[in-house]
Amino acid sequence: MDELTQLANALMALDDKLAACMKCGFCQAFCPMYMTTRIEGDLTRGKIALIENLAHSLIEDPEAVNEKLSRCLLCGSCQANCPSGVHTTDIFLEARAIVAAYLGMSAIKKAAFRMLLPNPRLFDTLMRVGAPFQKLVLKKDDTPQHTASAPLLKSLLGDRHVPVPAEKPLHRTVGKLNTPQGKSRVKVAFFPGCLGDKVYTNVSEACLKVFDYHEIGVFLSDGYACCGMPALASGDRQGFEKMVMHNVDVLKDQTFDYIVTPCSSCTVAIREYWPRLSQNLPPRYRDAINALSPKAIDVNALLVDVLHVSPKSPVKGQTKVTYHESCHLQKSLGVSKQPRDLIRMNPKYNLVEMAEANRCCGCGGSFTLTHYDLAQKMGQRKRDNVIASGADVVATGCPACMMQLADMLARNHDAVEVKHTIEIYAESLPG
Protein backbone atom coordinates (compact mmCIF):
# COMPACT_ATOMS: atom_id res chain seq x y z
CA MET A 1 0.00 0.00 0.00
CA ASP A 2 1.52 3.36 -1.04
CA GLU A 3 1.80 6.31 1.37
CA LEU A 4 -0.98 8.30 -0.32
CA THR A 5 -3.43 5.41 0.07
CA GLN A 6 -2.42 4.96 3.70
CA LEU A 7 -3.00 8.66 4.32
CA ALA A 8 -6.42 8.55 2.68
CA ASN A 9 -7.43 5.51 4.73
CA ALA A 10 -6.26 7.18 7.93
CA LEU A 11 -8.30 10.29 7.16
CA MET A 12 -11.44 8.21 6.48
CA ALA A 13 -10.99 6.27 9.73
CA LEU A 14 -10.63 9.55 11.60
CA ASP A 15 -13.85 10.92 10.08
CA ASP A 16 -15.85 8.13 11.72
CA LYS A 17 -14.60 9.10 15.18
CA LEU A 18 -15.28 12.81 14.66
CA ALA A 19 -18.98 12.26 14.02
CA ALA A 20 -19.75 11.80 17.72
CA CYS A 21 -18.71 15.36 18.66
CA MET A 22 -21.82 17.55 19.11
CA LYS A 23 -19.83 20.83 19.30
CA CYS A 24 -21.58 21.54 22.62
CA GLY A 25 -18.57 23.36 24.06
CA PHE A 26 -18.80 21.54 27.40
CA CYS A 27 -15.03 21.03 27.14
CA GLN A 28 -14.52 24.76 27.79
CA ALA A 29 -14.85 24.15 31.50
CA PHE A 30 -12.12 21.50 31.57
CA CYS A 31 -9.49 22.26 28.91
CA PRO A 32 -6.41 23.74 30.65
CA MET A 33 -5.14 25.10 27.35
CA TYR A 34 -8.35 27.04 26.64
CA MET A 35 -8.56 28.25 30.24
CA THR A 36 -5.06 29.69 29.82
CA THR A 37 -5.37 31.33 26.39
CA ARG A 38 -9.16 31.77 25.87
CA ILE A 39 -8.57 31.06 22.18
CA GLU A 40 -11.30 28.96 20.52
CA GLY A 41 -8.73 27.20 18.34
CA ASP A 42 -7.03 25.93 21.50
CA LEU A 43 -10.25 24.35 22.74
CA THR A 44 -11.06 20.72 22.00
CA ARG A 45 -14.05 21.79 19.91
CA GLY A 46 -11.82 24.13 17.88
CA LYS A 47 -9.26 21.43 17.20
CA ILE A 48 -11.95 18.97 16.13
CA ALA A 49 -13.28 21.58 13.68
CA LEU A 50 -9.76 21.82 12.27
CA ILE A 51 -9.41 18.04 12.04
CA GLU A 52 -12.76 17.76 10.21
CA ASN A 53 -11.13 19.69 7.36
CA LEU A 54 -7.73 18.10 7.84
CA ALA A 55 -7.15 17.01 4.24
CA HIS A 56 -7.84 20.51 2.89
CA SER A 57 -5.92 22.21 5.71
CA LEU A 58 -2.87 20.00 5.17
CA ILE A 59 -2.66 21.00 1.53
CA GLU A 60 -3.24 24.66 2.34
CA ASP A 61 -0.83 25.11 5.28
CA PRO A 62 0.52 21.92 6.87
CA GLU A 63 2.90 23.74 9.25
CA ALA A 64 0.04 25.80 10.70
CA VAL A 65 -2.00 22.62 11.22
CA ASN A 66 0.93 21.00 12.98
CA GLU A 67 1.34 24.02 15.27
CA LYS A 68 -2.35 24.10 16.21
CA LEU A 69 -2.47 20.37 16.96
CA SER A 70 0.67 20.66 19.10
CA ARG A 71 -1.11 23.15 21.38
CA CYS A 72 -2.65 20.35 23.41
CA LEU A 73 -1.32 18.67 26.55
CA LEU A 74 -3.07 15.33 25.81
CA CYS A 75 -4.17 15.48 29.45
CA GLY A 76 -7.50 13.79 28.74
CA SER A 77 -9.58 16.38 30.65
CA CYS A 78 -11.96 16.86 27.74
CA GLN A 79 -12.32 13.14 27.11
CA ALA A 80 -12.98 12.37 30.78
CA ASN A 81 -15.77 14.95 30.93
CA CYS A 82 -17.29 14.72 27.42
CA PRO A 83 -21.08 14.12 27.68
CA SER A 84 -21.00 12.38 24.29
CA GLY A 85 -18.11 10.11 25.20
CA VAL A 86 -15.91 11.28 22.34
CA HIS A 87 -12.43 9.73 22.46
CA THR A 88 -10.75 13.07 21.90
CA THR A 89 -7.25 11.99 22.96
CA ASP A 90 -7.30 9.18 20.39
CA ILE A 91 -8.49 11.63 17.73
CA PHE A 92 -5.68 14.07 18.46
CA LEU A 93 -3.04 11.32 18.47
CA GLU A 94 -4.28 10.00 15.13
CA ALA A 95 -4.39 13.50 13.64
CA ARG A 96 -0.80 14.11 14.79
CA ALA A 97 0.27 10.85 13.17
CA ILE A 98 -1.38 11.89 9.89
CA VAL A 99 0.29 15.30 9.96
CA ALA A 100 3.67 13.76 10.84
CA ALA A 101 3.34 11.30 7.95
CA TYR A 102 2.45 14.14 5.59
CA LEU A 103 5.24 16.49 6.71
CA GLY A 104 7.84 13.86 7.56
CA MET A 105 9.79 13.64 10.83
CA SER A 106 12.81 15.82 11.52
CA ALA A 107 16.21 14.10 11.59
CA ILE A 108 16.52 14.75 15.33
CA LYS A 109 13.14 13.18 16.13
CA LYS A 110 13.86 10.21 13.89
CA ALA A 111 17.14 9.63 15.68
CA ALA A 112 15.50 9.93 19.10
CA PHE A 113 12.35 7.91 18.46
CA ARG A 114 13.63 5.27 16.04
CA MET A 115 17.22 4.72 17.17
CA LEU A 116 17.83 6.00 20.71
CA LEU A 117 14.67 5.32 22.74
CA PRO A 118 14.03 1.82 21.27
CA ASN A 119 17.66 0.88 21.95
CA PRO A 120 18.43 0.99 25.69
CA ARG A 121 22.06 -0.12 25.21
CA LEU A 122 22.76 2.80 22.87
CA PHE A 123 20.90 5.19 25.20
CA ASP A 124 22.96 3.98 28.15
CA THR A 125 26.22 4.37 26.25
CA LEU A 126 25.41 7.97 25.32
CA MET A 127 24.43 8.73 28.93
CA ARG A 128 27.76 7.35 30.18
CA VAL A 129 29.74 9.27 27.56
CA GLY A 130 27.92 12.47 28.48
CA ALA A 131 28.12 12.01 32.27
CA PRO A 132 31.54 13.71 32.71
CA PHE A 133 30.18 16.85 31.02
CA GLN A 134 27.13 17.02 33.28
CA LYS A 135 28.87 19.10 35.95
CA LEU A 136 30.07 21.54 33.32
CA VAL A 137 26.59 22.06 31.92
CA LEU A 138 24.38 21.84 35.00
CA LYS A 139 24.62 24.28 37.90
CA LYS A 140 22.86 22.81 40.92
CA ASP A 141 20.29 25.02 42.63
CA ASP A 142 20.43 25.44 46.38
CA THR A 143 16.76 24.49 46.71
CA PRO A 144 14.71 21.67 48.29
CA GLN A 145 13.63 20.55 44.81
CA HIS A 146 17.13 19.26 43.89
CA THR A 147 17.05 20.96 40.51
CA ALA A 148 19.73 22.57 38.38
CA SER A 149 19.90 25.38 35.86
CA ALA A 150 21.87 25.19 32.62
CA PRO A 151 23.31 28.61 31.69
CA LEU A 152 25.34 27.13 28.83
CA LEU A 153 22.17 25.67 27.31
CA LYS A 154 19.98 28.71 27.82
CA SER A 155 19.23 28.96 24.10
CA LEU A 156 17.79 25.45 24.27
CA LEU A 157 16.36 25.19 27.80
CA GLY A 158 15.71 28.82 28.66
CA ASP A 159 15.44 29.49 32.39
CA ARG A 160 14.18 26.03 33.25
CA HIS A 161 15.15 24.37 36.50
CA VAL A 162 15.67 20.75 35.50
CA PRO A 163 16.09 17.61 37.61
CA VAL A 164 19.65 16.38 37.99
CA PRO A 165 20.16 12.95 36.36
CA ALA A 166 21.10 10.18 38.76
CA GLU A 167 24.81 9.44 39.08
CA LYS A 168 24.03 5.90 37.97
CA PRO A 169 20.79 4.72 36.34
CA LEU A 170 18.69 2.13 38.13
CA HIS A 171 19.52 -0.62 35.65
CA ARG A 172 23.20 -0.28 36.57
CA THR A 173 22.81 0.00 40.36
CA VAL A 174 20.17 -2.70 40.76
CA GLY A 175 20.59 -4.70 37.56
CA LYS A 176 18.30 -7.61 36.74
CA LEU A 177 15.90 -9.02 39.32
CA ASN A 178 13.76 -12.14 39.21
CA THR A 179 12.62 -12.93 42.73
CA PRO A 180 9.81 -15.32 43.71
CA GLN A 181 6.57 -14.18 45.30
CA GLY A 182 6.33 -14.42 49.08
CA LYS A 183 3.37 -14.16 51.42
CA SER A 184 1.67 -11.68 49.14
CA ARG A 185 1.28 -14.40 46.48
CA VAL A 186 1.87 -11.67 43.92
CA LYS A 187 4.67 -11.24 41.41
CA VAL A 188 5.14 -8.10 39.34
CA ALA A 189 7.14 -7.00 36.35
CA PHE A 190 8.47 -3.64 37.50
CA PHE A 191 8.64 -1.07 34.68
CA PRO A 192 10.34 2.07 36.09
CA GLY A 193 10.03 4.17 32.94
CA CYS A 194 12.74 6.43 31.52
CA LEU A 195 12.59 8.99 34.32
CA GLY A 196 12.41 6.27 36.96
CA ASP A 197 15.52 4.64 35.51
CA LYS A 198 17.69 7.65 34.73
CA VAL A 199 16.50 10.59 36.85
CA TYR A 200 14.17 9.75 39.74
CA THR A 201 15.90 6.55 40.80
CA ASN A 202 14.81 7.38 44.37
CA VAL A 203 11.22 6.74 43.28
CA SER A 204 12.09 3.36 41.78
CA GLU A 205 14.11 2.41 44.86
CA ALA A 206 11.10 3.28 47.02
CA CYS A 207 8.99 0.94 44.87
CA LEU A 208 11.51 -1.88 45.33
CA LYS A 209 11.57 -1.29 49.10
CA VAL A 210 7.77 -1.54 49.20
CA PHE A 211 7.79 -4.72 47.11
CA ASP A 212 10.33 -6.27 49.44
CA TYR A 213 8.36 -5.29 52.56
CA HIS A 214 5.15 -6.82 51.21
CA GLU A 215 6.99 -9.91 49.91
CA ILE A 216 6.07 -9.23 46.31
CA GLY A 217 8.09 -11.13 43.71
CA VAL A 218 9.81 -8.85 41.22
CA PHE A 219 10.97 -9.24 37.65
CA LEU A 220 13.11 -6.26 36.63
CA SER A 221 14.93 -6.10 33.31
CA ASP A 222 18.07 -4.03 32.77
CA GLY A 223 17.09 -3.53 29.13
CA TYR A 224 13.71 -1.83 28.96
CA ALA A 225 13.10 0.68 26.18
CA CYS A 226 10.87 3.74 26.51
CA CYS A 227 7.15 2.92 26.78
CA GLY A 228 6.55 4.76 23.48
CA MET A 229 4.45 7.66 24.75
CA PRO A 230 6.84 10.45 23.59
CA ALA A 231 6.92 9.08 20.03
CA LEU A 232 3.16 8.62 20.04
CA ALA A 233 2.59 12.21 21.17
CA SER A 234 4.82 13.41 18.31
CA GLY A 235 2.94 11.37 15.73
CA ASP A 236 5.76 8.89 15.08
CA ARG A 237 3.98 5.54 14.89
CA GLN A 238 7.06 3.81 13.51
CA GLY A 239 9.16 4.82 16.51
CA PHE A 240 6.32 3.90 18.87
CA GLU A 241 6.05 0.43 17.33
CA LYS A 242 9.81 -0.18 17.65
CA MET A 243 9.71 0.66 21.35
CA VAL A 244 6.67 -1.53 21.93
CA MET A 245 8.19 -4.53 20.15
CA HIS A 246 11.43 -4.22 22.11
CA ASN A 247 9.58 -4.19 25.44
CA VAL A 248 7.28 -7.03 24.41
CA ASP A 249 10.35 -9.14 23.62
CA VAL A 250 11.61 -8.42 27.15
CA LEU A 251 8.32 -9.24 28.88
CA LYS A 252 6.52 -11.90 26.85
CA ASP A 253 8.34 -15.00 28.17
CA GLN A 254 8.27 -13.97 31.84
CA THR A 255 5.72 -15.08 34.44
CA PHE A 256 4.08 -12.40 36.58
CA ASP A 257 0.67 -11.15 37.67
CA TYR A 258 1.02 -7.43 37.01
CA ILE A 259 3.16 -4.91 35.13
CA VAL A 260 3.67 -2.17 37.72
CA THR A 261 4.89 1.34 37.03
CA PRO A 262 5.31 4.49 39.15
CA CYS A 263 4.57 6.57 36.03
CA SER A 264 0.95 7.02 35.01
CA SER A 265 1.92 7.85 31.42
CA CYS A 266 3.76 4.53 31.13
CA THR A 267 0.76 2.70 32.59
CA VAL A 268 -1.62 4.34 30.11
CA ALA A 269 0.73 3.59 27.21
CA ILE A 270 1.04 -0.09 28.12
CA ARG A 271 -2.58 -0.66 29.12
CA GLU A 272 -4.37 1.39 26.47
CA TYR A 273 -2.15 2.36 23.54
CA TRP A 274 -0.08 -0.78 23.08
CA PRO A 275 -3.15 -2.89 22.22
CA ARG A 276 -5.05 -0.09 20.50
CA LEU A 277 -2.25 0.81 18.10
CA SER A 278 -0.68 -2.58 17.43
CA GLN A 279 -2.70 -3.42 14.31
CA ASN A 280 0.34 -3.05 12.04
CA LEU A 281 2.56 -5.33 14.12
CA PRO A 282 3.12 -9.03 13.32
CA PRO A 283 0.49 -11.36 14.86
CA ARG A 284 2.90 -12.76 17.45
CA TYR A 285 3.37 -9.26 18.88
CA ARG A 286 -0.36 -8.50 18.81
CA ASP A 287 -1.11 -11.72 20.69
CA ALA A 288 1.57 -10.99 23.28
CA ILE A 289 0.33 -7.42 23.74
CA ASN A 290 -3.24 -8.60 24.26
CA ALA A 291 -1.97 -10.84 27.06
CA LEU A 292 0.36 -8.26 28.63
CA SER A 293 -1.59 -5.00 28.49
CA PRO A 294 -4.44 -5.92 30.88
CA LYS A 295 -1.79 -6.60 33.53
CA ALA A 296 -0.56 -2.99 33.59
CA ILE A 297 -1.35 -1.20 36.86
CA ASP A 298 -0.15 1.88 38.71
CA VAL A 299 1.84 1.20 41.88
CA ASN A 300 -0.65 3.14 44.05
CA ALA A 301 -3.52 1.02 42.74
CA LEU A 302 -1.57 -2.21 43.21
CA LEU A 303 -0.99 -1.51 46.89
CA VAL A 304 -4.48 -0.26 47.75
CA ASP A 305 -6.71 -2.24 45.39
CA VAL A 306 -4.79 -5.53 45.20
CA LEU A 307 -2.91 -5.75 48.51
CA HIS A 308 -5.55 -3.72 50.43
CA VAL A 309 -3.07 -1.40 52.10
CA SER A 310 -5.11 1.24 53.93
CA PRO A 311 -4.64 3.78 56.75
CA LYS A 312 -5.81 2.37 60.07
CA SER A 313 -5.61 5.40 62.36
CA PRO A 314 -6.48 9.10 62.02
CA VAL A 315 -3.06 10.19 63.34
CA LYS A 316 -1.82 13.38 61.67
CA GLY A 317 1.84 14.36 61.72
CA GLN A 318 3.54 17.72 61.73
CA THR A 319 4.62 17.79 58.07
CA LYS A 320 1.89 19.14 55.82
CA VAL A 321 1.65 17.50 52.43
CA THR A 322 -0.70 18.35 49.58
CA TYR A 323 -1.50 16.11 46.62
CA HIS A 324 -1.49 17.00 42.92
CA GLU A 325 -3.60 14.75 40.68
CA SER A 326 -1.64 13.56 37.67
CA CYS A 327 -3.90 13.85 34.62
CA HIS A 328 -3.20 10.37 33.25
CA LEU A 329 -3.46 8.84 36.72
CA GLN A 330 -6.84 10.32 37.57
CA LYS A 331 -8.52 10.92 34.23
CA SER A 332 -7.29 7.90 32.27
CA LEU A 333 -6.78 5.31 35.02
CA GLY A 334 -9.31 6.49 37.61
CA VAL A 335 -6.70 6.39 40.40
CA SER A 336 -7.35 9.20 42.88
CA LYS A 337 -8.20 7.89 46.35
CA GLN A 338 -5.39 5.32 46.38
CA PRO A 339 -2.45 7.79 46.41
CA ARG A 340 -4.09 9.72 49.23
CA ASP A 341 -4.49 6.49 51.20
CA LEU A 342 -0.78 5.81 50.84
CA ILE A 343 0.08 9.31 52.06
CA ARG A 344 -2.14 8.78 55.11
CA MET A 345 -0.23 5.58 55.87
CA ASN A 346 2.72 7.71 57.01
CA PRO A 347 2.02 9.13 60.50
CA LYS A 348 4.60 11.88 60.02
CA TYR A 349 2.43 13.61 57.42
CA ASN A 350 -0.79 15.60 57.50
CA LEU A 351 -2.62 15.61 54.15
CA VAL A 352 -4.08 19.00 53.26
CA GLU A 353 -5.97 19.44 50.01
CA MET A 354 -5.02 22.19 47.59
CA ALA A 355 -7.45 24.09 45.38
CA GLU A 356 -7.80 22.68 41.86
CA ALA A 357 -5.87 19.53 42.74
CA ASN A 358 -6.97 17.88 39.49
CA ARG A 359 -6.08 20.79 37.22
CA CYS A 360 -3.19 20.05 34.83
CA CYS A 361 0.22 21.26 36.00
CA GLY A 362 1.16 22.24 32.45
CA CYS A 363 3.84 19.65 31.70
CA GLY A 364 2.17 17.51 29.05
CA GLY A 365 5.40 15.64 28.29
CA SER A 366 6.86 17.17 25.14
CA PHE A 367 4.39 20.09 25.39
CA THR A 368 6.65 21.80 27.93
CA LEU A 369 9.56 21.56 25.47
CA THR A 370 7.71 23.18 22.58
CA HIS A 371 5.39 25.59 24.44
CA TYR A 372 7.24 26.49 27.61
CA ASP A 373 5.62 29.92 27.86
CA LEU A 374 2.18 28.30 28.15
CA ALA A 375 3.45 25.46 30.34
CA GLN A 376 4.92 28.07 32.67
CA LYS A 377 1.61 29.95 32.98
CA MET A 378 -0.23 26.74 33.85
CA GLY A 379 2.56 25.67 36.18
CA GLN A 380 2.55 29.01 38.00
CA ARG A 381 -1.14 28.60 38.80
CA LYS A 382 -0.46 25.10 40.15
CA ARG A 383 2.46 26.47 42.20
CA ASP A 384 0.23 29.21 43.65
CA ASN A 385 -2.30 26.58 44.75
CA VAL A 386 0.45 24.49 46.35
CA ILE A 387 1.72 27.49 48.32
CA ALA A 388 -1.79 28.56 49.33
CA SER A 389 -2.35 25.13 50.89
CA GLY A 390 0.45 25.81 53.37
CA ALA A 391 2.09 22.47 52.57
CA ASP A 392 5.73 21.63 53.21
CA VAL A 393 5.63 18.89 50.59
CA VAL A 394 3.69 18.41 47.36
CA ALA A 395 3.19 14.78 46.33
CA THR A 396 2.11 13.34 43.02
CA GLY A 397 2.03 10.00 41.21
CA CYS A 398 3.86 10.99 38.03
CA PRO A 399 7.57 11.73 37.47
CA ALA A 400 6.76 14.21 34.67
CA CYS A 401 4.52 16.15 37.05
CA MET A 402 7.32 16.03 39.63
CA MET A 403 9.62 17.63 37.08
CA GLN A 404 7.13 20.42 36.31
CA LEU A 405 6.30 21.09 39.97
CA ALA A 406 9.99 21.23 40.88
CA ASP A 407 10.68 23.71 38.08
CA MET A 408 7.86 26.04 39.12
CA LEU A 409 8.70 25.91 42.84
CA ALA A 410 12.42 26.44 42.18
CA ARG A 411 11.68 29.41 39.92
CA ASN A 412 9.79 31.02 42.78
CA HIS A 413 12.42 30.12 45.42
CA ASP A 414 9.85 28.15 47.42
CA ALA A 415 10.85 25.83 50.25
CA VAL A 416 8.41 23.07 49.26
CA GLU A 417 9.73 19.59 48.55
CA VAL A 418 8.41 17.46 45.69
CA LYS A 419 7.87 13.75 46.30
CA HIS A 420 6.21 10.77 44.70
CA THR A 421 3.45 9.22 46.81
CA ILE A 422 5.33 5.91 46.90
CA GLU A 423 8.29 7.67 48.53
CA ILE A 424 6.07 8.94 51.34
CA TYR A 425 4.64 5.49 51.93
CA ALA A 426 8.07 3.84 51.76
CA GLU A 427 9.35 6.23 54.43
CA SER A 428 6.84 4.73 56.87
CA LEU A 429 8.23 1.22 56.44
CA PRO A 430 11.12 -0.22 58.46
CA GLY A 431 14.51 -0.70 56.89
CA distances from 97 to 93, 238, 273, 312, 368 (A): 6, 10, 14, 48, 19
Q: What is the mean pLDDT of the chain?
A: 92
Given a cut of 70, is residue 6 above it in pLDDT? no
The fold adopted by the segment(s) 3-103 is Fumarate Reductase Iron-sulfur Protein; Chain B, domain 2 (1.10.1060)
Specify the domain boundaries for CATH 1.10.1060.10 within the chain.
Answer: 3-103
The pLDDT > 70 percentage for the chain reads 96
Checking if the pLDDT of 7 tops 70, the result is no
Higher per-residue pLDDT: 295 or 133 = 295
Question: Which pLDDT does position 136 carry in this prediction?
Answer: 76
Segment 307-315 shows an average pLDDT of: 83
User: Which SS3 state, helix, strand or coil, does residue 244 take?
Assistant: helix
Give the tens place of pLDDT for each residue, 263-283. 999 999 999 999 999 999 999
- Rounded CA-CA distance 344/427 in Å is 12
Fold of the 170-305 domain? Glutathione S-transferase Yfyf (Class Pi); Chain A, domain 2 (1.20.1050)
Task: Give the confidence band of 8 by pLDDT, cuts at 50, 70, 90.
Answer: low
What confidence tier does 401 reach under pLDDT thresholds 50, 70, 90?
A: very high
Out of 162-166, 354-358, 388-392, pick the least confident: 162-166
**Least confident piece of the model among 9-18, 75-84, 204-213, 417-426:** 9-18
Predicted confidence (pLDDT) per residue in 24-81, tens digit: 889 998 999 999 999 998 998 888 888 888 877 887 888 988 899 999 999 999 999 9
Neighbours of 393 (CB within 10 A): 19
At 248, the pLDDT band (50, 70, 90 cuts) reads very high
**What's the whole-number mean pLDDT along residues 178-183?**
96
pLDDT of the residue at 159: 83
Give the other-Cβ count within 10 Å of 352's Cβ. Answer: 14
DSSP label of 165:
P
| Secondary-structure class of domain 308-427 per CATH | alpha beta
3 state DSSP class of 190: strand
CA 371/CA 127 separation, integer angstroms: 26
Distance of CA 152 to CAs 84, 126, 127, Å?
49, 19, 18
Percent of the chain with pLDDT over 90: 70
| Residues carrying CATH 1.20.1050, the chain | 170-305
DSSP character string of 32-65: HHHHHH--GGGSHHHHHHHHHTHHHHHHH-HHHH
pLDDT surpasses 70 at 2 = no
pLDDT of residue 1: 46
The residues of the chain that CATH labels 3.40.50.10700 are 308-427
H or E element: which one contains 220?
Answer: strand 217-220
Q: Which of 216, 125, 133, 140 is nearest to 171 (CA)?
A: 125
256 band by pLDDT with thresholds 50, 70 and 90: very high
Q: Is the pLDDT of residue 4 over 60?
A: no
Q: Which residues contact 126 (CB under 8 A, 6 or more apart)?
A: 116
pLDDT digits (tens, 9 = 90+) for 340-382: 999 999 999 999 999 999 999 999 888 888 899 999 999 999 9
Q: Is 217 helix (H, G, I), strand (E, B) or coil?
A: strand
Which one has a higher pLDDT value, 65 or 176? 176
Residue 90 half-sphere exposure toward CB, CA atoms < 13 A? 19
